[in-house]
Amino acid sequence: MKKHLLPLLVALVALPGLAEASCYASYKAKRDNPLKLHFGVAEVGDNQCTKEAAAKALAPRLEKEGWHLLSIVAMIPEEKLGEVKADAGKYFLRY
C-alpha cells in the first residue's frame, strides 16, 4: 500500500508549482519629459498569456515606476527567453 502513496505524494507536491506557471511578454513603454523609450520582457501569470491580458497585468506595474505601456509586442515561450534577453537589457524581467 505504501508504494502507491509515494507517486501520489510526489504529484501533490508538484501541483502547486505547475499551477503557478508563467508566461512572458515583450513590450514597449515610454516616459515623457524628457521622452524615453524602452523595450522589455516581463513575466505574467499563466492566466495572462494573451496580449490583452498581459497588457492589463503589466500596465499598472509600469505606471508605478512612471512608465506608460505602449504595446505588448509578443508573448514569448520560456524556451525563447534567451533570444530576447540582450535586446531587453536592464528591462529583462524587471517589471
Give 44's strand partners.
23
DSSP single-letter state for residue 76: E
Q: Considering the entire predicted model, what is its pTM?
A: 0.76
Q: Where are the alpha helices (DSSP H) in the chain?
A: 2-19, 51-64, 81-88
State the number of CA atoms in the 13 A half-sphere of 40 facing the CB: 23
- The pLDDT tens digits of the residues spanning 75-87 come to 999 999 999 999 9
| CB contact at 8 A, 13 and 27 | no
Helix, strand, coil % over all residues of the chain, rounded to 5: 50, 30, 15
How do residues 17-76 score in pLDDT, each as one tens digit? 444 568 999 999 999 999 999 999 999 999 999 999 999 999 999 999 999 999 999 999
